[in-house]
């Protein structure tokens, strides 16, 4: 079974020290090799067949660059500078005419059709664009802020303030709870959700609170959501999640008890499943598992693979 963890394969050189140099950054904008990735209202530009990101050669796309509300420097791909341009201020028809190729698509719908590297690059650009959208004004004095350091920071335009802010992420834990009985097969606990598109099962998650360790967040969230004391908390993997601004930190944990109590506001229903039950029900389309691009799906598939006979 091939298990993929999406948005984690960004191989671009972010050039963290170089992008602080405005002269160097200006030179990258003038590079004949520079590429531009258009972005429109949380959507990425893709080729017509949705198999790859849509890039424009910057020196041939001055009209797109000048029409962008924000332009950010993503980094270097083998010394080739890559920028992203936000065209969200335009209507879709106008934005599409500006770029002239492909179409704008929701990344989560098309990520499985892209290479891991391209999906990761698009997620990186989306995360930065969303941050700029929500930080147009200084949190200290309320004045408008301006892009600096190639879009990796903002600075208050008020000369008496000049407060700088940087992109921040909301850390969230996501956990697969396992129970191993004395006899019989191991089971995992999944939340069960009924939606207009059908029933789906997923792992349990929650945000890390101030003054809390990641393990402490796992213990608290599992107790709050399903009333279970968990132990043997093990880190599995992390995943950038720019929908809009999180980092998902994946764990497994064990429970000695099968008896759970639901917080209906958070988890409407839940059930224990063996690996075979999950595999069979999913194949029979009795319900679906979390979307393929999510770390929840990665955790579930890892657990199935480990326990299937």
The conformation of residue 137, written as its DSSP 8-state character, comes to B
Note the pLDDT tens digit of each residue in 244-292.
999 999 999 999 999 999 998 999 999 999 999 999 988 888 899 999 9
Say what the pLDDT of residue 251 is.
98
Query: What is the percent of the chain with per-residue pLDDT over 90, rounded to a whole number?
Result: 91
Angle at 48 between CA 104 and CA 131, to 5 degrees: 25
pLDDT of 110 above 60 = yes
How many C-beta neighbours within 10 Å does residue 19 have?
23
Are 158 and 143 a contacting pair, CB within 8 Å?
yes
pLDDT of 309 above 70 = no
Say what the pLDDT of residue 197 is.
82
Say what the pLDDT of residue 3 is.
76
Tell me the two tokens of residue 212: 């809390």
Say what the pLDDT of residue 2 is.
60
The Cα–Cα gap between 185 and 183 comes to 7
Q: What is the mean pLDDT of residues 51-77?
A: 95
Q: What is the mean pLDDT of residues 148-175?
A: 97
Say what the pLDDT of residue 120 is.
97
pLDDT of 196 above 70 = yes
Say what the pLDDT of residue 220 is.
98
Q: What is the mean pLDDT of residues 81-102?
A: 95
pLDDT of 4 above 60 = yes
Q: What is the mean pLDDT of residues 64-89?
A: 96
Note the pLDDT tens digit of each residue in 199-257.
999 999 999 999 999 999 999 999 999 999 999 999 999 999 999 999 999 999 999 99
Mean pLDDT score across all residues of the chain: 95
The CATH architecture one would assign to domain 170-307 is Alpha-Beta Complex (3.90)
Smallest CA-to-CA distance from 255 within 229, 218, 227 is with 229
Smallest CA-to-CA distance from 241 within 7, 3, 64, 4 is with 7
The Cα–Cα gap between 67 and 94 comes to 11
Say what the pLDDT of residue 18 is.
96
Are 34 and 120 a contacting pair, CB within 8 Å?
no
Domain 170-307 in the same topology as domain 18-134: yes
The Cα–Cα gap between 212 and 86 comes to 36
The Cα–Cα gap between 192 and 300 comes to 13
The Cα–Cα gap between 274 and 91 comes to 49
**Model pTM?**
0.93
The Cα–Cα gap between 181 and 167 comes to 45
Smallest CA-to-CA distance from 221 within 234, 275, 213 is with 213
* 1 — pLDDT class (breaks 50, 70, 90): low
The Cα–Cα gap between 86 and 296 comes to 30
Q: What is the mean pLDDT of residues 134-163?
A: 96
Tell me the CA distances in angstroms from 297 to 22, 136, 275, 302, one per residue in order. 42, 35, 13, 8
pLDDT of 186 above 60 = yes
The domain limits of the chain are: 18-134, 170-307
The answer regarding whether domain 18-134 maps to CATH 1.20.1070 reads: no
Q: What is the mean pLDDT of residues 35-45?
A: 96
């Amino acid at each position: 079974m091939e298990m993929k963890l999406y948005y984690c394969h960004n191989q671009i050189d972010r050039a963290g020290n170089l992008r602080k140099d405005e002269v160097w950054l200006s030179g990258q904008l003038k590079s004949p090799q520079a590429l531009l990735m258009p972005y429109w209202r949380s959507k990425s530009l893709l080729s017509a067949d949705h198999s790859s990101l849509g890039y424009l050669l910057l020196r041939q796309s001055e009209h797109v660059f000048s029409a962008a509300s924000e332009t950010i420097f993503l980094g270097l791909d083998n010394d080739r500078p890559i920028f992203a341009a936000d065209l969200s201020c335009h209507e879709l028809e106008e934005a599409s005419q500006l770029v002239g190729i492909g179409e704008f698509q929701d990344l989560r719908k098309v990520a499985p059709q892209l290479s891991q590297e391209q999906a990761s690059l698009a997620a990186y650009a989306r995360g930065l664009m969303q941050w700029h959208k929500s930080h147009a004004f200084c949190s200290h004095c309320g004045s408008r802020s301006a892009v600096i350091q190639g879009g990796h920071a903002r600075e208050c335009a008020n000369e008496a303030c000049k407060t700088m802010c940087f992109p921040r992420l909301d850390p969230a834990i996501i956990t697969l709870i396992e129970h191993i009985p004395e006899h019989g097969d191991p089971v995992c606990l999944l939340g069960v959700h009924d939606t207009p598109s059908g029933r789906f099962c997923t792992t349990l998650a929650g945000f890390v609170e101030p003054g809390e360790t990641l393990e402490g967040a796992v213990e608290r969230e599992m107790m709050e959501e399903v009333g279970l004391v968990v132990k043997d908390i093990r880190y599995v993997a992390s995943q950038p999640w720019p929908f809009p601004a999180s980092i998902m930190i994946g764990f497994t944990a064990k429970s000695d008890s099968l008896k759970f109590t639901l917080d209906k506001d958070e988890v409407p229903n839940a059930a224990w499943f063996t690996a075979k039950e999950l595999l069979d029900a999913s194949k029979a389309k009795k319900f679906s598992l979390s979307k393929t691009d999510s770390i929840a799906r990665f955790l579930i598939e890892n657990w199935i693979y480990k326990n299937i006979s």
